[in-house]
């Protein structure tokens, strides 16, 4: 069995003959948008991925091949280094993957929101720890809350 050759850099002529390495940036109904080198390409998804949960997520590294001049097909999902996931409210214990191959997780909340609700940031910290990635928390609009509120937020 012959191994598929995966290329880092993209050229249309090579795409017709070889596999191209890309990263998923957007998933649509039966297509995915991928970044291959400095180009954004739209790829058709195999039927097996359209209905399968967690089969493809943003951040997945994939191999694509050319079908014709402007059409590409996702051929293979490459192994994931990391998975950021959340739980399911309907089925406890179920993992819903929200991103793959993440190195940092950035969670952003306004100071006003953080004063009243901490759940979003706590969930982000839990997801980052599960995935084994570093988390960056950004509290915006801190200048709009009073001195007392700032002290409370710093403790939180």
pLDDT tens, residue by residue, 7-57: 555 554 444 457 899 999 999 888 999 999 999 999 999 887 776 776 899
pLDDT per position as a tens digit, 57-114: 999 999 999 888 778 999 899 999 999 988 777 888 888 888 999 999 999 988 888 8
All CATH 2.40.50.140 domain ranges of the chain, comma separated, are 6-77
The runs of H, that is alpha helices, within 18-141 are 47-51, 111-116, 119-131
Nearest Cα to Cα of residue 19 among 34, 1, 4, 41: 4
> What's the confidence (pLDDT) of residue 90?
83
- Residue 3 host element (H or E): none
| Residue 76 burial class via C-beta count within 10 angstroms: exposed 0-12, middle 13-18, buried 19 and up | middle
Residue 75 to residue 34: CA distance in whole angstroms: 12
Q: What is the pTM of this model?
A: 0.71
CA 102 to chain CA centroid, Å, is 7
Indicate the CATH number of 6-77 among 2.40.40.20, 2.40.50.140, 3.30.930.10, 3.30.1540.20: 2.40.50.140
Residues in the chain: 156
pLDDT for the residue 71: 84
């Amino acid at each position: 069995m012959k191994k598929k050759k995966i290329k880092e850099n993209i050229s249309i002529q090579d795409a017709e003959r070889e596999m191209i390495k890309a990263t998923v940036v957007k998933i649509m109904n039966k297509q995915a948008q991928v970044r291959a080198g400095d180009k954004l390409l739209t790829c058709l998804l195999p039927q097996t991925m359209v209905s399968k949960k967690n089969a493809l997520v943003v951040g997945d590294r994939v191999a694509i091949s050319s079908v014709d001049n402007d059409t590409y097909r996702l051929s293979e999902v490459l192994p994931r280094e990391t998975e950021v996931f959340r739980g399911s409210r309907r089925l406890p214990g179920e993992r819903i993957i929200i991103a793959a191959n993440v190195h940092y997780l950035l969670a952003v909340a306004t100071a006003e929101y953080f004063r009243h609700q901490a759940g979003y940031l706590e969930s982000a910290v839990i997801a980052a720890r599960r995935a084994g990635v570093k988390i960056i928390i950004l509290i915006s609009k801190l200048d709009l809350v009073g001195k007392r509120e700032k002290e409370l937020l710093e403790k939180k």
